[in-house]
Amino acid sequence: MLVPRLSFYKRINKEFERELPIKGKPLVNIGDLVKSNDKVLESEILGDLSIIKIDPEIINVDNLKIKKLDTVKEGDLIFERRSFFNLFKDQTFSKYSGVVEYINLNNGHIGIRDKSTSITINAFVDGEVVQINENSIKLKTSCAYFQGIFGIGGEQSGEIALIDNEKITLDSFPKDIDEKVLVGGFSPSAEVLEFINKSKAKGLICGSIDYNELSKFLGYEIGVAITGREDIDFSLIITEGFGDFKLSPRIVELAKENLGKRIAINGTTQVRAGARRADAVICFDYFKKVKIVDDNQITKGDLVKIIRYPYFGKIGKVAEVLDKRVVLETKSVVNCAQVIVKGQEIIVPIINLELI
């Protein structure tokens, strides 16, 4: 099957893996139906262990004011020894808050563990639990699914709201954008991005952005590392690239067909080698077997955009999908299509084409 690099499906049965960064436990069972906000995995990061030292010559069970597993607060009395008819006393107060993890009478050490931090992972999509591992689960769902070329911000979800597919300004938005994922337009300025960030909107899916405006908004330049960990309150997905490109008509149409429905988005992108693309999911029924329509197949007559050098950003029409693989100047052997761009016929690898 000949497909471009970026996925686009109007409807597909797809599996999603949810994984903890450390050892934990599942909160669901195989066959469970879950909602996107349901917690499905849980783990715990132990707090810091602090040690209080008391002279081992004087410590014993009788003069301790605590025992193992007691909860203590900073300033609590944990040891007291009286001497000379109770006229003199030695006292030790806790410097830490937490739980008494151990008491060693041989060396006088008392270990106090700070409060643990709980980590939970939600489902992200509506679906059925089909696999459970030690630190991860797999969910299967019926959904619309597409990828973007680039994104920032982590996982978010909200109601789909359309905006005009024109250059995005502060006047592009409806009055109520709270809890919405805005879909449409291109090239928002740093000022527009800051406005969205300060609002209660959950995300923006648009065609393109100016690199300098993005850097101005973030306060630094994006490198080749993984994005998605930015200190922002919404997620941004770019579907076409850097520059001035409108959002793909097929994504606009998909948003129109699902207006008001919930969409889950993740701007996380591995820039180098395309290891991870920003993506979006619109869930339908929890789990329903459907005939998968491959919307990615490139055929004669399709309108496409070239997404790689030396014709990056050029729009053309597929004149023919070549039957035989072509040897490129780089010696790579790939599937290609003949594309007409402004009257000129060029041969382009299928992987460098995106349907529009």
Task: Write the pLDDT tens digit of every residue in 46-61.
Answer: 999 999 999 999 999 9
Q: Read off the pLDDT of residues 135-170 as tens digits, 9 standing for 90 and up.
A: 999 999 999 999 999 999 999 999 999 999 999 999
* pLDDT over 60 at 18, yes or no: yes
pLDDT of residue 286: 54
pLDDT band at 273 (very low <50, low <70, confident <90, very high): low
- Direct distance between the N- and C-terminal alpha carbons of the chain, in angstroms, rounded to an integer: 18
pLDDT of residue 268: 94
> Considering only CA atoms, which of 226, 43, 45, 229 is closest in space to residue 121?
43
Alpha carbon distance 113, 47 (integer Å)? 6
* pLDDT over 90 at 290, yes or no: no
- Let me know if residue 182 belongs to a domain: yes
Task: For residues 177 and 257, state if they share a domain.
Answer: yes
Task: For residues 267 and 318, state if they share a domain.
Answer: no
- Let me know if residue 136 belongs to a domain: no
- Let me know if residue 22 belongs to a domain: no
- Let me know if residue 227 belongs to a domain: yes
Would you call 172 exposed, middle or buried from its count of C-beta atoms within 10 A (0-12, 13-18, 19+)? middle
- Let me know if residue 250 belongs to a domain: yes
Task: For residues 260 and 324, state if they share a domain.
Answer: no
Q: What is the CATH classification number for the domain harbouring 187?
A: 3.50.30
Task: For residues 173 and 272, state if they share a domain.
Answer: yes
In 163-270, beta strands by DSSP E: 180-183, 203-209, 235-242, 262-266
* pLDDT over 90 at 352, yes or no: no
Task: For residues 198 and 108, state if they share a domain.
Answer: no
Q: What is the CATH classification number for the domain harbouring 88?
A: 2.40.50
- Let me know if residue 41 belongs to a domain: no
* Torsions phi, psi for 2 (to 5 deg): -100, 115
Task: For residues 205 and 244, state if they share a domain.
Answer: yes
Task: For residues 161 and 237, state if they share a domain.
Answer: yes
What residue type is assigned to position 283 of the chain?
A: C
- Give start and end residues of each alpha helix (H) in 155-201: 190-198
Q: Mapping DSSP to helix (H, G, I), strand (E, B) and coil, where does residue 28 land?
A: coil
Task: For residues 245 and 198, state if they share a domain.
Answer: yes
Task: For residues 154 and 273, state if they share a domain.
Answer: yes
pLDDT of residue 285: 66
* pLDDT over 90 at 330, yes or no: no
Q: Read off the pLDDT of residues 79-135 as tens digits, 9 standing for 90 and up.
A: 999 877 666 788 999 999 999 999 999 999 999 999 999 999 999 999 999 999 989
- Let me know if residue 80 belongs to a domain: yes
Percent residues over pLDDT 90 in the chain: 72
Task: For residues 248 and 317, state if they share a domain.
Answer: no
pLDDT of residue 312: 82
* Lowest-pLDDT choice from 124-133, 252-261, 287-296: 287-296
Name the maximum alpha-carbon separation found in the chain.
107
Q: Read off the pLDDT of residues 179-236 as tens digits, 9 standing for 90 and up.
A: 999 999 999 999 999 999 999 999 999 999 999 999 999 999 887 678 999 999 999 9
Q: What is the mean pLDDT of the chain?
A: 89
Length of the chain: 356
Q: How many domains does the chain contain in total?
A: 3
Please enumerate in sequence order all residues whose Cβ is within 8 A of that of 331, keeping only pairs 6 or more positions apart, or say none: none
pLDDT of residue 226: 86
User: Where is the domain boundary, 226, 261, 277?
Assistant: 277
Residue ranges making up the domain that contains 154: 149-277
Q: What is the CATH classification number for the domain harbouring 348?
A: 2.30.30
Task: For residues 263 and 192, state if they share a domain.
Answer: yes
pLDDT of residue 294: 44
pLDDT of residue 271: 66
pLDDT of residue 354: 77
pLDDT of residue 323: 85
- Let me know if residue 39 belongs to a domain: no
User: Where is the domain boundary, 86, 113, 140?
Assistant: 113
Task: For residues 221 and 339, state if they share a domain.
Answer: no
Could you tell me if residue 268 is left (phi over 0), alpha (psi between -120 and 50 degrees) or otherwise beta? beta
pLDDT of residue 306: 85
* Lowest-pLDDT choice from 109-118, 172-181, 302-311: 302-311
Partnered with residue 347 across adjacent β-strands are 338
Tell me if 237 sits within 8 A of 277, measured CB to CB.
Answer: no
